[in-house]
Amino acid sequence: MSTPPAVVLDSAGEAAGMAAMVADLLQANLADSPARRRVARRARGSVVLLATDRALGVTVTFLSDAVVVAADAPGGGPGAPPALAGDWLAMAAVCAGGRAPLRALLRRELRVVPRRPLAALVAAGYVLKVPRAVARAARSGGR
Amino acid sequence: MPDVYTQEWYEAVRGAMNDAAGTLRSVPEGRFAVAVEIEGDGVSPYVGDEGRRFLLEIEDGVCLWYRELAPGDGEHAQAGRIDYRFRGPATVFDELAAGLLDPIDAALRGTIAVRGDMRLLLRQAEHVKALLQAYTSGVDTTWPLGGPPYVRGHDAAEAPTRA
C-alpha cells in the first residue's frame, strides 16, 4: 500500500479554520483511499475553494509528494488557479458525499469559476470527496 | 431569563438546540460527544484563568445533556470517547452566546478551533449550523456582570473620561 502524500497546513491567513478542516478532510480521505492517493500524487497545480457566503477561501496545491492547504485565496485574474465557489454549506455537503457534485453544479449551488487548467480542480473534487464506504458508515451512526 | 453559565442556562440552551433540531428534515443518526473548552482571556468576567469546560452528548440529533465540568473532572469518565472538541477564548464564546458573532464564521476563521472527524462534521453541517444558531440566538440570556461586547483594557484607557 502506498503511503499517502503529506498534507501540509499553512494556516497563515484569514481562513485558518476552513483550511484546517479541509486539511483534516484530505488527510482522512488519503489515509483511507488508495485511489485518492494515486490521484493526489499525479495531480499538479492549485485549486481555490471559495465559501462565497463567508467571503473566505483556501488554496489547495498538489505537489509531487505533498498537498498544501493554505488559508487564503488569491484574487482572480490571469494565471489565477481554478476555483470551486459556493455557499459553505453546499461545499460541505458535496465534500462529505451528502450531495452529488454534478447536481450541485446543475442547481447552481456551486460553480466553477472558468479558469484553466481544470485538471487540478477535477483531482481536488475527487480527493476531497469522502469515499463512499466511509460516507455509508457515517450514515449508519457515529458510534 | 437564565443567567449565563448556570444550570438553568444550560438547560435552556439544550431545549433551544432540540427545538432547532426538530425543525430539520433529517438529523444524523448515532451518538456523539462534544467537548467545549473556553479559555480565560482576562476580559470576560465569567471565565477565570482556569477556563471552563463543558460536555454535551447528542443522540440521533437530540441533545441528551449539556453540563459544565468541575475542575479536575475527567471528560472521558462522563462521556466516553470525545468526538468533537471546540476550543476558544472566553470573549469569543461570550459574544457567540450573545449573538454578536457568527459561529460558522468563527470556526472558518479559526477564532474557535474545531477538532474531530471533519468528514462526519461536514456531513452534519446543517445540523451543526442549527445547533450553533440555537446556542447563539435561541436563549434570552442574562449577563449579571455585564454582557459583551466588553471594553478591553486599552479601549477603556483610551475612552474619554467624564468630567
- The per-residue pLDDT for range A85-121, each reduced to its tens digit, is 999 999 988 887 777 777 888 899 999 886 566 788 8
Domain of residue B82, CATH code: 3.30.1050.10
Interface touch B114/A21, C-beta < 8 Å: yes
As a whole number of angstroms, the distance between CA B49 and CA B71 comes to 12
Q: Which of B26-35, B59-68, B86-95 has the lowest mean pLDDT?
A: B26-35
Kindly state the cell numbers that stand for A88.
459553505
Q: Specify if B151 maps to a domain.
A: yes
Q: Which of A28, A139, A141 sits opposite B118 (nearest CB)?
A: A28
CB contact under 8 A, B123 and A98: yes
State whether A21 and B118 contact (CB < 8 Å).
Answer: yes
Whether the predicted pLDDT of B104 surpasses 90: yes
Q: What is the DSSP string of B99-111?
A: T-S-HHHHHHHTS
Nearest CA-CA partner of B110 in B91, B126, B88: B88
Let me know: does B88 contact B51? Beta carbons within 8 Å: no
Q: Which three cell numbers stand for residue A73?
A: 485565496
Provide the pLDDT for residue B20. Answer: 94
Tell me, yes or no, if B85 comes closer than 8 A to chain A by beta carbon.
no
Indicate the pLDDT class of residue B69, thresholds 50, 70 and 90.
very high
Least Cα separation, residue A93 to chain B (angstroms): 6
Q: Is residue B159 classed as helix, strand or coil in its secondary structure?
A: coil
Q: Write out chain A residues lying below 8 Å of B92, CB-based.
A: none
Instruction: Report the gap between the CA of B25 and the closest CA in chain A (Å).
Output: 14
Domain interval for residue B33: 7-158
Does residue B2 form part of some domain? Answer: no
Position B34 pLDDT exceeds 70: yes
| Predicted model pTM | 0.88
What average pLDDT does range B70-97 have in this prediction? 89
Residues A88, B128: contact at Cβ < 8 Å?
A: no
Positive or negative CA dihedral for A100, A106, A107, A111? positive
Q: What is the CA radius of gyration of chain B?
A: 16
Task: Give the count of domains, chain B.
Answer: 1
d(CA A40, CA A37): 5
Q: Would B133 be classed as within a structural domain?
A: yes
- Radius of gyration (C-alpha) of chain A in whole angstroms: 14
Cα A2 from chain centre: 21
B1 in a structural domain:
no
Give the three cell numbers for residue B79.
462521556
Q: Is residue B49 part of a domain?
A: yes
pLDDT tens, residue by residue, B110-156: 999 999 989 888 888 889 989 999 999 999 999 999 999 998 765 55
Residues of chain A with pLDDT under 50: 142-143
Give the mean pLDDT of chain B.
90
Residue-level pLDDT at B159: 45
